[in-house]
């Protein structure tokens, strides 16, 4: 624990800007993953423990696409699209068979998928770390804002993620499809009785969730390294984000992802060894005081 370092950091604008940027990056990427997780839970009542695998595969697909096409835009799009497809396949082939059955069965299937794809990634891409590298257009000197270092690529990443958050929020609240999704989250039987094809709806929800996670993985690939098993840690964190924000709440996911991002950003200075512990403490306190999460509906 190093509270003096934390205090010193909080009083210098340079340190505040740098740590806030890194916190925002963590938070926004986490939001993209957690948004899919919480959307899937909200509509299908499935805790998708395989969501980290979507994130990992999205990164690897982007890495390979970049190798073939040399285009970052195509790489990111292919990561997202491939995971949308993967999400649908996963839902149709596996998860749809255990709807309504024991939570443990769903957990078991998801964990099996995690194990299988961690090893498949090792077979296809090798067990070693891969680095994707920043796009050449962004290999420029960083911006200095109030003395803090902000690489332009980070700023763009945060912007893209923020745009997606807005699009997702507006899409859910304003479009007809978004309204159907929200209705299905409240009462799927009634939505089905009103003539909505819920089978299709569920598949689309998984596709959207998969695409968001794949997108996050592809966007993160240039700033983090790729490795088999990278899905595990993001899964646990995005899981915490959804629990704190409220299972099923997109707004909650955004707020708590940013909170967790900031705890990560500044916690590494004040509590370098115990940042994870801080996050678990936050989660325990929230669960005790407000089990449904900050923005969740009480059940």
Size of interface with another protein, in residues (CB under 8 A): 39
- Interface residue with another protein among 218, 220, 221, 243 (CB under 8 A) is 243
How far apart are CB 230 and another protein at their closest, in Å?
14
Of positions 2, 139, 284, 297, contacts another protein by CB under 8 A: 284
Residue 211-230 contact track with another protein, rule CB under 8 A, x = bound: --------------------
Q: Does 11 bind another protein (CB under 8 A)?
A: no
Q: Determine if 98 is a binding residue for another protein (CB under 8 A).
A: yes
189-197, long-range: CB within 8 Å, 24+ apart, which pairs? none
Cα(286)–Cα(299) distance, integer angstroms: 16
Min CB(127)–another protein separation in Å: 9
Sign of CA dihedral 87, 70, 34, 264: positive
- Residue 245 CA to residue 250 CA, distance in Å, equals 8
For residue 205, count other CB atoms closer than 10 A to its CB.
24
Stretch that binds another protein, among 8-16, 75-83, 119-127, 131-139 (CB under 8 A): 119-127
Task: Check residue 46 for interaction with another protein (CB under 8 A).
Answer: no
Q: Is 97 in the site for another protein (CB under 8 A)?
A: yes
Does the footprint of another protein cover residue 299 (CB under 8 A)? Answer: yes
Residues in the chain: 299
Contact status: 107 vs another protein (CB under 8 A): yes
Specify whether the CB–CB gap between 23 and 265 falls below 8 A: yes
Closer to another protein by Cβ: residue 115 or 166: 115
DSSP labels, 205-274? HHHHHHHHHHHHHHHHTTTS-B-TTHHHHHHHHHHHHHHHH-TT-HHHHHHHHHHHHHHHHHHHHH-TTT
- Out of 100, 123, 176, 195, point to the residue binding another protein (CB under 8 A): 123
Main-chain dihedrals φ then ψ at residue 149, nearest 5 degrees: -90, 125
Q: Identify which range of 60-68, 170-178, 252-260, 276-284 contacts another protein by CB under 8 A.
A: 276-284
Please list the residues that pair with 145 across neighbouring strands: 148
SS3 assignment, position 144: strand
Residue (113 or 132) nearer to another protein, CB: 113
Contact pick of 8, 68, 174, 281 for another protein (by CB under 8 A): 281
Check: CB of residue 222 under 8 Å from CB of residue 153: yes
What are the residues binding another protein (CB under 8 A)? 47, 94, 97-98, 101, 103-105, 107-109, 111-116, 118-120, 122-123, 236, 239-240, 243, 247, 273-274, 276-277, 280-281, 283-284, 287-288, 291, 299
């Amino acid at each position: 624990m190093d509270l003096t370092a934390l205090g010193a950091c909080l009083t210098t604008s340079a340190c505040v800007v740098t740590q806030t940027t890194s916190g925002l990056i963590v938070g926004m990427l986490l939001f993209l993953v957690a948004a899919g997780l919480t959307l899937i839970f909200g509509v299908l009542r499935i805790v998708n423990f395989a969501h980290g695998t979507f994130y990992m595969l999205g990164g690897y697909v982007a890495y390979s696409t970049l190798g073939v096409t040399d285009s970052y835009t195509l790489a990111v799009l292919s990561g997202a699209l491939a995971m949308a497809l993967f999400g649908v396949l996963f839902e149709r082939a596996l998860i749809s068979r255990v709807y309504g059955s024991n939570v443990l069965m769903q957990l078991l299937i998801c964990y099996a998928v995690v194990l299988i794809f961690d090893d498949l990634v090792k077979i296809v891409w090798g067990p070693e770390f891969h680095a994707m590298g920043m796009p050449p257009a962004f290999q420029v000197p960083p911006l200095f804002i109030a003395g803090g270092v902000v690489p332009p690529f980070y700023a763009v990443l945060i912007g893209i993620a923020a745009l997606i958050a807005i699009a997702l929020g507006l899409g859910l609240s304003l479009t007809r499809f978004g309204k159907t999704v929200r209705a299905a989250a409240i009462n799927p039987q009634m939505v089905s009785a009103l003539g909505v094809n819920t089978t299709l709806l569920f598949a689309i929800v998984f596709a959207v969730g998969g695409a968001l996670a794949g997108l996050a993985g592809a966007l993160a690939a240039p700033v983090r390294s790729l490795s088999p098993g990278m899905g595990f840690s993001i899964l646990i964190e995005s899981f915490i984000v959804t629990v704190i924000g409220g299972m099923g709440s997109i707004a909650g996911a955004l707020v708590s992802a940013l909170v967790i991002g900031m705890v990560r950003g500044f916690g590494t200075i004040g509590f370098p060894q115990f940042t994870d512990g801080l996050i678990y403490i936050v989660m325990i306190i929230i669960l005790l005081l407000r089990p449904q999460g900050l923005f969740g509906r009480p059940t």
